[in-house]
Amino acid sequence: MDCFYASCERLRHPDLAGEPVVVGMGYEPGESIGAVATASYEAREFGVESAMPISKALELLPRREDADPDDPDAPDPEETGRYVPVDLDFYEEVASEVKAVLRDCADTRREVSIDEAYLDVTDRTSWAVAGGGGGSPSDGGGADEEATDPPPSGAAGPAEARTLAEGYARHVKDRIEREAGVPASVGVAPNMSAAKVASDADKPDGLVVVPPGSVAEFLAPLPTADVHGVGPVTEETLADLGIETAGDLAAADRDRLAEALGERGPELSRRAAGDDDREVTPTGLPKSLSRESALPTTADEATKRETVSALAADVARRARERGCLYRTIGIKAVEPPFDVNTRARSLPGPVDDPDLVEEVALDLLSEFDDARVRKLGVRVSKLDFAETDQATLGGFDAGDGGGQGQGGKRETRSEGGDGGKLTDWVDGPPDRGGDESGSVAERERRGTDEGQASLGDWS
């Protein structure tokens, strides 16, 4: 996603379009400590970068509110920006819209963070040239394919011969913008590291396709900093070795690289040569299972209850198919414009009970009977994949402290009030980096290149 937090703010505040936007904390009157969460491309032109101290950002780009036309010492309005506070709940809601598209477009996904994911679409498209024969969408197009070699589109723009893979990527990209309202940049390649580099090659709103047989050529002229896994520390070490480009790194003596960088050295060399045989794998067992559905804000109580019943049945079915029990049942109700409310109820032990999921979800929904909602969701969490005895429905009703309130009414526990973490509403936990090979300086993430500070830095 492109400057995701700033894009989200522009979604609900269209007047921010084209403006330098800084999302962060600490710029409010009386505050002196804070940092930039993300900066729009317009703000970056003034030197503002993610993770920068807010005091430095204000030096480079004063607040628009401080541009007083009657004050000769005030900053020029043309050299000021719009500063917006971090609203994590809202960003998570938009992210759930994006990830709903991704779940629909790829069976195998690795969600790296709130704004980045890998998709394996081998079974849904191919490297065949559109209209040129030589394959069908079912022919694959994975990391090991060596068949069709049309020239890469590269960062300079699409090639004349368009692959079916490019068409599918454009479909995903267009759906994200249409359904979530925010722009994404997409990279398509035969392996993970090349796709990552391609996704960064033409930001913002980019689409870069690197077919098999073209990966090494695409990477060769790029600086080593662009190779997936190379950060400032490694870049400096490579420069000391006389290695400046990905092509240099691919051709370097790997024993020498191992001496300087350990086992990461040869691995980075292989990636620079276009060799990366990692599979796109989910980030472990899910922490929750959920389903959501948009509906018109004019929906009546009966429609809302029908929707939640259907969502509850689907979530319970998915949990049973995966062989997991659950200890918490919850709902999400999004009121216009983007007020996210979550409610949940904990059980005394893990269960597999579709009727109970529906019963609890409908009970929680009653709080919103008279509310206008634009989306509803049902979730089961605190999953248990182990062989274990499940709690009984009678145990849930027994009033033994396992979630029963006064007067025999079950207690509703709101997890963190309105909102909730993104991981509450996706099928797998986010993974900082998505890269098993490197932990040096937390993958030496560069705020300016990643475009977004980590959620962990702000929550």
pLDDT tens, 187-244? 999 999 999 999 999 999 999 999 999 999 999 999 999 998 898 889 999 999 999 9
pLDDT at 450: 46
pLDDT tops 60 at residue 156: no
Encoded tokens for 59: 């030096």
Of 344 and 336, which is predicted with more confidence? 344
Q: Is 446 helix (H, G, I), strand (E, B) or coil?
A: coil
How much is the pLDDT for 78? 84
Q: pLDDT of 255-305, one tens digit each? A: 999 999 998 899 999 999 999 998 998 876 778 888 888 888 899 999 999
**Residue with tokens 């689907």, as numbered in its chain:** 314
Q: Is-above-0.85 flag for pTM?
A: no
390: tokens are 């499940």
> What would the pLDDT profile of 353-386 be if each residue is shown by its tens digit?
999 999 999 999 999 999 999 889 999 999 887 6
Sequence-distant contacts of 362-367: CB under 8 A, at least 24 apart: 362/305, 362/308, 362/309, 362/312, 363/410, 363/412, 364/329, 364/330, 364/331, 364/412, 365/304, 365/305, 365/308, 365/331, 365/333, 367/333, 367/343, 367/412
What pLDDT does 443 receive? 37
Q: Residues 9, 49, 116, 235: which is the catalytic one?
A: 116
Least confident of 60-69, 171-180, 226-235: 60-69
Among 31-45, 143-157, 404-418, name the most confident range: 31-45
Nearest to 322 by CA among 366, 372, 268, 386: 386
Give the confidence band of 451 by pLDDT, cuts at 50, 70, 90: low
pLDDT at 41: 95
Task: Tell me if residue 116 is catalytic.
Answer: yes
